[in-house]
Amino acid sequence: MSREKYEKIFDEVIELKKKIANIVEKTTPVTVTYRVESFLKHIRLNWKSFFEIISTLNTEQSLKHSNIIGDNDFILVYHSDAIRKTLEVIQKTSKHVVFNYFWLKALSYWWNEVQPKNQDSCYRIFDSAEFPLILAINRLYVDYSLKNGSKSKLVHMFHQLKRSAIESMEKNTIIDEKTRQRAIEKLRNIIDIIGFPEWLIIDEHLDDFYGIHGSLDSLIAHHYCISYIRLMRYFKYQMFRIMKNKDFSFREINFSPLMANAFYNRHRNSIEIEPTLLKLPLFDAELPFYVNYAKLGSIIAHEITHSFDKEGINYDKNGVFQEWWTNKSLRNFENRTQCFIEQYRNYSEHSYGLWRNNSTLSEDIADNGGLRLAYMAYQNELKSVPNLGKQPQLLPRLVDKKMTVDQIFFLSLAQIECGVLTNVQLKDLINKHYHSPPESRVNLCMQNFDKFAESFNCSMGSPMNPKKRCLLW
């Protein structure tokens, strides 16, 4: 083709991309849960056939697994309005333009795979959950980086935190009885996805997943790109094959050994904890339990509290977007959150000389609720320690300083946020980020918690023992 024809093709594709980008920019990104049957009617497109095709390896398997996604299955649709409006634009666009758009889009996914590889690009490949051998790499991480017993101790700690959250909600007077009972149901229904699936550390099961006993060898070619495409297709096929397992979690299997994260998924009402967190400085099976509760425990408690932040209250126990709070409870919630908005804004203005909006409200709620919940769970754990009444094990270097277990708990929790920010970084954090600055995340949470003042004997009216506190969960 001539240069003019190529330019015409790219101009048409760019124009279509601009229209789609404009739709996304002007549409509120709301994630909605649909039944497959309802979704297909909503978008007027047969995506069911599309999923059946991409979830199979060949035509014969397509016939075997044609029911992998049924009409009554649920799917999460991100930016559903944008999808609908984009399809309307595509339907009005010439077919050859749409074809070229998707063809170039597909090529863009493979662009990195056909480039010469260096050390940096290898790191990027291993960091990607899309890398088809990521499970094998994750197995190596689990074998060589995690101590025996780490996962079982974390599972115990998670359940203790969950029980404490239910206990706290039962005593909460901010919401009425009807809302409280639904909130307790939501807490009981939280799905925990901790670390890695047990089958990952069983050689035979991992071999079966990759087809070591036959099919994998035939997928490896002498050409890297061809091997990658074959492996990727096989990997996707295996993902779809096990997707219908109710305990399946794509994140649980596809964590990256180069990333450390824990998060609450409000669309599934689940908390997912990557195994990369199961080590120092956040967790160690040999550390005193109160330190683990202060560090990783407070992070998990933070994520549990997200189920009742300003976004989380809009999703029920199954992760479905709906109104389930009474008007009275909502008014009380808004009144209590206003206290946090004003407190964090005043602290920012007085401490940093910078004004801030309320974009961090959900994270501020989770920070405050997470501290209280982690402390409550650690106290409940303390009651179950054998030989109750004896001093629990103290960290060696702190014994001589005559610090109490409570004080070490608070110091351990605060240590998570240790760091230094430049003025430029601080300003950028306050203006753009959804987390408050580290100093605020520690000091304001401690100010709002009376147990901190009791532990360190702070005098009434001092900065860390104010007369007015903000309290929600």
- 301-305, 343-347, 443-447: which has the minimum mean pLDDT? 343-347
CB 288 within 8 A of CB 248: no
In whole angstroms, what is the distance from residue 222 CA to residue 225 CA? Answer: 9
Residue 54 pLDDT greater than 70, yes or no: no
Strand partners, 35: 74
d(CA 374, CA 395) in angstroms, rounded, equals 19
Range name among 57-71, 86-100, 309-323, 349-363 with the lowest pLDDT average: 57-71
- pLDDT interval class at 451 (50, 70, 90): very high
Q: Residue 274 in contact with residue 299, Cβ under 8 Å?
A: no
Position 219 confidence tier, pLDDT thresholds 50, 70, 90 = low
pLDDT of residue 417: 87
Rounded to an integer, the average pLDDT of 41-68 is 58
d(CA 292, CA 284): 7
Is the pLDDT score of 388 beyond 50? Answer: no
The whole-number pLDDT of residue 433 equals 75
CA torsion sign for 335, 341, 343, 345 is negative
Task: Say yes or no to pLDDT of 126 above 60.
Answer: no
Stretch (H or E) spanning 20: helix 3-26
Better-predicted residue by pLDDT, 220 or 139: 139
Residue 347 has pLDDT above 50, yes or no: yes
Average pLDDT, the chain: 80
Q: Are 143 and 206 in contact (CB under 8 A)?
A: no
Least confident of 9-13, 29-33, 330-334, 415-419: 29-33
pLDDT of residue 231: 73
- Looking at residue 114, its pLDDT comes to 64
Give mean pLDDT, residues 3-16.
88
* pLDDT in the model for residue 255: 60
Distances, alpha carbon 194 to alpha carbons 144, 155, 159, in Å: 18, 7, 11
User: 3-class SS at 466?
Assistant: coil
pLDDT in tens, 352-387: 766 666 788 899 999 999 999 999 999 999 887 665
pLDDT band at 142 (very low <50, low <70, confident <90, very high): confident
Evaluate whether 444 touches 350 at the Cβ level (below 8 Å).
no
Q: For 272-295, how does the pLDDT look when each residue is reduced to its tens digit (9 = 90+)?
A: 888 888 888 899 888 889 999 999
User: Which pLDDT does position 115 carry in this prediction?
Assistant: 64
Burial of 168: CB neighbours in 10 Å, binned 0-12, 13-18, 19+: middle
What integer pLDDT is reported at residue 187 of this predicted model? 95
Sort 18 into a burial class: Cβ within 10 Å, 0-12 / 13-18 / 19+: exposed
Whether this prediction's pTM lies above 0.95 is answered by no
Q: What is the pLDDT of residue 322?
A: 86
Span 241-245, mean pLDDT?
63
pLDDT above 90 (res 242): no
Backbone angles phi, psi at 381, to 5 degrees: -65, -40
> For residues 130 and 355, what is the distance between their CA atoms, to the nearest angstrom?
41
Per-residue pLDDT of 172-211, as tens digits, reads 889 999 999 999 999 999 988 887 777 788 888 777 777 6
What stretch of H or E contains 129?
none
Residue type present at position 316: D
pLDDT at position 348: 78
3-state secondary structure (DSSP) of residue 358: coil
What is the rounded radius of gyration, in angstroms, for the C-alpha atoms of the chain?
26
Q: Are strands 191-194 and 270-273 parallel, antiparallel or unpaired?
A: parallel
In this prediction, residue 220 has a pLDDT band, given cuts at 50, 70 and 90, of low
User: Above 50 in pLDDT, residue 218?
Assistant: yes
Domains of the chain, start order: 3-123 (no CATH), 124-143+200-253 (no CATH), 149-194+274-456 (3.40.390.10)
Range 158-183 average pLDDT: 93
- Paired residues of 194 in beta bridges: 273
Q: Which residues does 258 contact at the CB level (< 8 Å), separation at least 6?
A: 123, 126, 127, 276
Integer Cα distance of 131 and 297 in angstroms: 31
